[in-house]
Structure 1
Amino acid sequence: MPRSTIARIDTNAIRQNYRRALALGNGTRAMAVIKADGYGHGIRDVAVALKDEAPKFAVACIEEAHAIREAGVSQPVVLLQGPHSDQDIGTSEAEGFELVIHSEHQLNWLDQQAVVPVLWIKVNSGMNRLGFSPADLEGVMARLEAAGHGQKITGFVTHFACADDPSSDFTAQQTDCFARAVAPWPHLEKSLGNSAAHFREGQSLYDWSRPGIMLYGASPMINTFGPDLDLEPAMTLEAELTSVRTIQAGEAVGYGGSFKATQETRMGIVAVGYGDGYPRHAGTDTPAWVNGRRIRLIGRVSMDMLAVDLNNAPNAKPGDRVELWGKNISVDEVARHAGTIGYELLTGVTVRVPRVRE
């Protein structure tokens, strides 16, 4: 019989979160970002869940775009990193993939092509990862026109560095930089809004926003949990209690004996660990949930199991289901205890954890 550690995927929550992005966008269209295997939720399942909602999808690379087609979803797919080889250009034109162009070597590949797909031009507005500087944009556009590709340029994109921080004014600076850079081409579309930008009051999202983490119910904002933003958690990571015992005051638990009981403690072992993607650095006091009661982790997380304090759930017994994150425990709260972000936890759930679509 297989181990019962699973990740339940609520596709209706994904749809509801997409609609939340649309509502916050106030008329802006939204391309659903489903890269990294749908942020760990299963790219094919997410694409199918949103095929009647999203007019366009966005991914990181062509392998992810192919997975969307394999799921029978035909909407345009934007490759946010553009082509990784010249062969990606012809494939993208044939499959209806749209390419974000951000570098000189990609322009060189385009120079060699007679036919190219729809193109987006990335502007470096201050994040300094990818994109052409505003000063170089006129030359890039002239080069594409000279190569005969001008009619394939649909618009411009940029990406925010600090939109998750409401106290930062850098997003306003980037927005202004982007607006000035693309002003000579008012007929072309614009996309600059990531998930966090949806929650910044007064932030323009222009023609296309790009909701990502918010689709899965986790918060894109610092010091905020998804439910605080009316986002519905889409993944519930759960496993069963495999053992229950009582330890006495002074007894230690797990590797290194990092937890020592200060009182008689009813302790449970849960069949999940860092081999499943649960964060090893989530230590004592990280919350979990069993039988309608909030409980806490104790000691170090092991590869295949972890320990919990059941004093607050006296009726819990072997075989009961424990929620590690999901509807009752926000993945953002677990991430805070582990010193990371919800993005990493959701995308880090390993392949040995079956995704069960609901």
Structure 2
Amino acid sequence: MQHSSRLEISASAYGQNIAFIRSRIGSEAVVSAVVKGNAYGHGICQMVQVAEQAGIRHFSTFSSDEAREVLTSSAQPNEIMIMGMLHPAEIPELIEKGIQFYVFDFERLEAAIEIAQRVGIKALIHVEVETGFHRTGFDWHDRAKLLDRLRVNASILELKGLCTHYAGAETAQNHTRILEQIVLFDQFRAYFLENQITFERTHTACSAATLLFPETHFDLVRIGIAGYGFWPTRETYELIKSDLSPENPNPLKRLLTWKTQVMSLKIVESGSFVGYGKGFQAKRDMTLAIIPVGYSHGYGRNLSNTGRVLIGGEFCTVIGNVNMNAVAVDVTDLKNVQPGDEVILIGNQGDKEITVSSFAETSEMINYEMLTRLAARIPRIIVD
């Protein structure tokens, strides 16, 4: 059985992106591949394989189910770090499997301590501190109590990392706030060092911070969107553009190409309404290509009458409302379009390209949202 569309994932593009990140951070810091959100829509199983080929041996997930998928997909002895959700009942299994996880409140810390004592295996933890993001992390006023719990339980806790998360490093208007966070994080680091508590690694940098704030690189950087070939924002690119080589002004390469095919053709007379409701009325006799992809696949309804695809190397506009499983596009001015012809939803065809950011321009979705909406059931195929 074949699916109505497929996603092609370029291993060579990922390798180029990691090489570019390496050129920014040097050879010492660990690159952790962030694979939350089904690897930003690229598929965790596929991206673990691709990342391993690029030399990555550290993976960051949001939740425990993602961590298990990384574990089962790994062909190498990788480090796996959960940055967000896990259930207390899962902690024994996580400890036994050597999966690392954030502790950002005393409830989780105490659970890790109690279970590590019970199973007789050290819990591999990353202590997240609150520096201004105001979502998760130990507050500055908790530092003495936190220090005491870490010191008293040193025999059953392995302190893999001290970390924080920045509140919008990709946007210049947030940079004063980011600089304040960096100062507070440094105060946390100094406090623990003064009290003889050391961590294996220090890490704070997401993709944007890695690109814009060299002082945040420390021992490990958490690379998400940049690894997949996208700038965190256009503003991020503009802020570092002057540092880039004129021979390679856009060093991040998109991994993902989304392909489908023409399912059928429909002749529509002038004055006819197309699809559900009255969202589009033909102003001339038209030929429409019906494409077997819709909002159930991640091609959002907000692309109705605005989205574009590539057929025969030409842009074709979505006509009418995007349906659950299909869209219609205008091929009136194309010659010899046939059922089975290739359709590019994201990617290149000839000298033209449909970018993920083009969806943002027409639908007000950011890259991250568009990518993570891609249905998990669409086949992901690794290509060179």
Fold match (TM-score > 0.5) = yes
Contact 1:219/1:342 (<8 A) preserved = no
Shift of 1:121: 0.5
State how far apart, in whole Å, the 1-side matches of 2:233 and 2:156 are. Answer: 37
Counterpart position of 1:356: 381
Counterpart position of 1:210: 222
Shift of 1:37: 2.4
Shift of 1:301: 0.5
State how far apart, in whole Å, the 2-side matches of 1:303 and 1:79 are. Answer: 34
Identical positions, percent: 25
Could you tell which deviates more after superposition, 285-294 or 79-88? 79-88
Aligned counterpart in structure 2 of residue 76 of structure 1, from 75, 79, 83: 79
Counterpart position of 2:107: 105
Contact 1:48/1:73 (<8 A) preserved = no
Contact 1:31/1:210 (<8 A) preserved = yes
Contact 1:144/1:150 (<8 A) preserved = no
Counterpart position of 2:25: 25
State how far apart, in whole Å, the 1-side matches of 2:234 and 2:70 are. Answer: 31
Contact 1:123/1:158 (<8 A) preserved = yes
Shift of 1:77: 0.7
Q: Deviations over 1:33-79 (max 9, x none)?
A: 11232222221221122224113111122222222222233211111
**1:35–1:138 CA distance, 2 compared to 1 (3 A):** same
Counterpart position of 2:42: 41
State how far apart, in whole Å, the 1-side matches of 2:66 and 2:76 are. Answer: 12
Q: 1:135 is paired with a residue of what secondary structure?
A: helix
Unmatched runs of 5 consecutive residues or more in structure 2: 238-247
Q: Deviations over 1:70-95 (max 9, x none)?
A: 2233211111126421541x333332
In the alignment, structure 1 residue 136 sits paired with structure 2 residue 142: yes
**1:34–1:352 CA distance, 2 compared to 1 (3 A):** closer
Could you tell which deviates more after superposition, 174-183 or 208-217? 174-183
State how far apart, in whole Å, the 1-side matches of 2:71 and 2:213 are. Answer: 36
Counterpart position of 1:255: 276
State how far apart, in whole Å, the 2-side matches of 1:317 and 1:223 are. Answer: 41
Unmatched runs of 5 consecutive residues or more in structure 1: none
Q: Deviations over 1:289-328 (max 9, x none)?
A: 1222222222210011001122454343221111111342
Aligned counterpart in structure 2 of residue 176 of structure 1, from 171, 179, 183: 183
What amino acid does structure 2 have at the position aligned with 1:119? I
State how far apart, in whole Å, the 2-side matches of 1:34 and 1:233 are. Answer: 16
State how far apart, in whole Å, the 1-side matches of 2:123 and 2:213 are. Answer: 35
Counterpart position of 1:230: 251
Residues matched between the structures, number: 357
Q: 1:22 is paired with a residue of what secondary structure?
A: helix
Counterpart position of 1:11: 11
State how far apart, in whole Å, the 1-side matches of 2:41 and 2:142 are. Answer: 37
Contact 1:294/1:312 (<8 A) preserved = no
**1:111–1:316 CA distance, 2 compared to 1 (3 A):** same
Contact 1:65/1:77 (<8 A) preserved = yes
Counterpart position of 1:297: 318
Q: Deviations over 1:173-207 (max 9, x none)?
A: 22222222222235533211112223326553222
Q: 1:296 is paired with a residue of what secondary structure?
A: strand
Counterpart position of 1:283: 304
Shift of 1:264: 4.1
**1:111–1:95 CA distance, 2 compared to 1 (3 A):** closer
Counterpart position of 2:367: 342
Flag the structure with higher helix content: 2
**1:165–1:58 CA distance, 2 compared to 1 (3 A):** same
What amino acid does structure 2 have at the position aligned with 1:76? E
**1:222–1:128 CA distance, 2 compared to 1 (3 A):** farther
**1:84–1:151 CA distance, 2 compared to 1 (3 A):** closer
Could you tell which deviates more after superposition, 264-273 or 193-202? 193-202
**1:141–1:19 CA distance, 2 compared to 1 (3 A):** farther
State how far apart, in whole Å, the 1-side matches of 2:25 and 2:178 are. Answer: 16
Counterpart position of 1:61: 63
What amino acid does structure 1 have at the position aligned with 2:344? E
Contact 1:234/1:326 (<8 A) preserved = no
